[in-house]
Structure 1
Amino acid sequence: MTAQFGCQHCTASLLGKKYVLKNDSPCCVSCYDRIFSNCCEACKEPIESDCKDLCYKGWHWHEGCFRCTKCYHSLVEKPFAAKDERLLCTECYSNECSSKCFRCKRTIMPGSRKMEFKGNYWHETCFMCEYCRQPIGTKPLISKESGNYCVPCFEKEFAQYCNFCKKVITSGGITFLDQLWHKECFLCSGCRKELCEEEFTSRDDYPFCLDCYNHLYAKKCAACAKPITGLNGAKFICFQDRQWHSECFNCGKCSISLVDEGFLTQNMEIFCRKCGSGVNSDN
């Protein structure tokens, strides 16, 4: 007698019936659907043995449920992308998730090359020099409010040249006597240190740091012998080829300030009128 050919789960005879092999053992359709069917991510119903089971990253769908979650068009045998556990056709993904071109405002489609600069994105063909209209690609560029420029076009259209090194100033710079310098080229004419972050003055149209100017050219105060620069609005007094800081212009005897006051002199000394009269009477 022939052994009974039955389902491994319910033992029902499978002779002349449709069945499924699971782990090399026969299983009736009813048991297979009840025990082994995957649940569809869209409709939450089991994907039975007579249906096609579409799988992506451990998720399962009926063939008819495998659709874009935004436009509901079928994704079967079509390209798609996943966003936050949602499946989207390429068009919906692009409209929702892809960057927009800074120039043409159109979507930069997934898989196409895009250029990024200062937090914005361009199609490769839209990222062009504003002057020659040629794509910049990865070549050096200079950016202005009016757009981006390749270096040769920028030099033709906008470039200003350093008065010291004669090279192009691409950004920043120092203006002195209507001429331009790179910050690193604007140097003291005495000690050659950079002046871009320093106080400075000039002599015969040459810039000097305060130390060099004071050492080389500044008059010395007749009282304290320190340089008189006149910088930052500092006042000084001149009298008979001598100079004083305003705070140093004091009576040589009582030390009272003589600024805007009458005074007397004797030899190289200055005195207030009261002290000067006493000095003259002593003589």
Structure 2
Amino acid sequence: MSTSICCRCNEEIWPRAVCSSGKAYHPHHFTCKDCGLVVDPTLFFAVDDDVVCSECYLDKHAVRCSACRTPILERGVAAAERKWHEKCFRCVSCRKSLVSTSFFEVNGYLFCRSHYRELFSSRCSGCEKPINRQAVVALSTKWHAKCFKCHLCRKRISARVFWIKNGQPICLACQPVDSQPRNLSTP
């Protein structure tokens, strides 16, 4: 039977060795790399192939939740280059869980799809609601296709050419004599 050599003092270990990460220690040399105290061999963490007691691990080495700043000791979520407890990975507006769903990050804050759209999407010049899909761009603003209507007859303007009267869109059927035609664009 071969004898073990303590990695701390380079002396032979007898009668009992404590082993961790391929290294052997005398029981009194099994100490925390941070605080220097003897560590219980059943309650320690290995950090950079060295021994760390549970108190030092929680204080200095444990990954902390981006929301509550407490150590993540069980399952967590890694997203947007940060980590969270599963229970903390939520929309800042409605507190809905974002685990297994799409989310958006703005300035470090997480949002569910509906609150992101509500808060950050372009708004339609006709109905003031968020524009989620393709928009009609006219008169230096955006519109839902169904909301881009003639200011006079309220019919939807679907032609690529329209008229402007007092800064409002007018369809070709209602074309005023004193207005210039404009081209409609869609992004």
Q: Rg bigger for which structure?
A: 1
1:169 to 123, 132, 136: 132
Match for 1:206: what amino acid? Answer: L
- 2:16 is equivalent to residue 52 of structure 1: yes
1:105 to 64, 69, 84: 69
Residues in 1 aligned to 2:34 and 2:104: alpha-carbon distance in whole angstroms:
41
Residues in 2 aligned to 1:56 and 1:84: alpha-carbon distance in whole angstroms:
12
Match for 1:40: what amino acid? Answer: C
**96-105 or 135-144: bigger deviation:** 96-105
Partner of 2:104: 142
Question: Does structure 2 conserve the Cα–Cα contact (< 8 Å) formed by 1:115 and 1:127?
Answer: yes
Over the aligned positions, Cα root-mean-square deviation in angstroms equals: 3.7
Partner of 1:67: 31
Partner of 1:274: none
Task: Tell me the secondary structure at the aligned position of residue 94 of structure 2.
Answer: coil
- 2:94 is equivalent to residue 116 of structure 1: no
Match for 2:47: what amino acid? Answer: K
Question: Does structure 2 conserve the Cα–Cα contact (< 8 Å) formed by 1:101 and 1:108?
Answer: yes
Task: Tell me the secondary structure at the aligned position of residue 169 of structure 1.
Answer: coil
- Where structure 1 has 5 or more consecutive residues not aligned to the other structure, the ranges are 1-21, 23-35, 182-187, 191-201, 209-283
1:179 to 103, 128, 142: 142
Residues in 2 aligned to 1:89 and 1:98: alpha-carbon distance in whole angstroms:
12
Percent of pairs with identical residues: 23
Give the deviation of 1:129 after TM superposition: 0.6
Q: TM-score when scaled to structure 1?
A: 0.43
Give the deviation of 1:167 after TM superposition: 8.1
Residues in 1 aligned to 2:143 and 2:102: alpha-carbon distance in whole angstroms:
23
Residues in 2 aligned to 1:207 and 1:39: alpha-carbon distance in whole angstroms:
79
**120-129 or 93-102: bigger deviation:** 93-102
Q: TM-score when scaled to structure 2?
A: 0.61
Alignment of 1:228-243 (within 5 A): none
Question: Does structure 2 conserve the Cα–Cα contact (< 8 Å) formed by 1:129 and 1:149?
Answer: yes
- Where structure 2 has 5 or more consecutive residues not aligned to the other structure, the ranges are 145-158, 162-179
Partner of 2:116: 154
> Do the aligned partners of residues 123 and 180 (structure 1) sit closer, same or farther apart at CA in structure 2, a change above 3 Å counting?
farther
Task: Tell me the secondary structure at the aligned position of residue 88 of structure 2.
Answer: coil
Residues in 2 aligned to 1:117 and 1:157: alpha-carbon distance in whole angstroms:
21
Give the deviation of 1:89 after TM superposition: 2.3
Give the deviation of 1:148 after TM superposition: 1.5
> Do the aligned partners of residues 57 and 99 (structure 1) sit closer, same or farther apart at CA in structure 2, a change above 3 Å counting?
closer
Task: Tell me the secondary structure at the aligned position of residue 137 of structure 1.
Answer: coil
> Do the aligned partners of residues 169 and 53 (structure 1) sit closer, same or farther apart at CA in structure 2, a change above 3 Å counting?
same
Runs ≥4 residues deviating over 6 A:
none
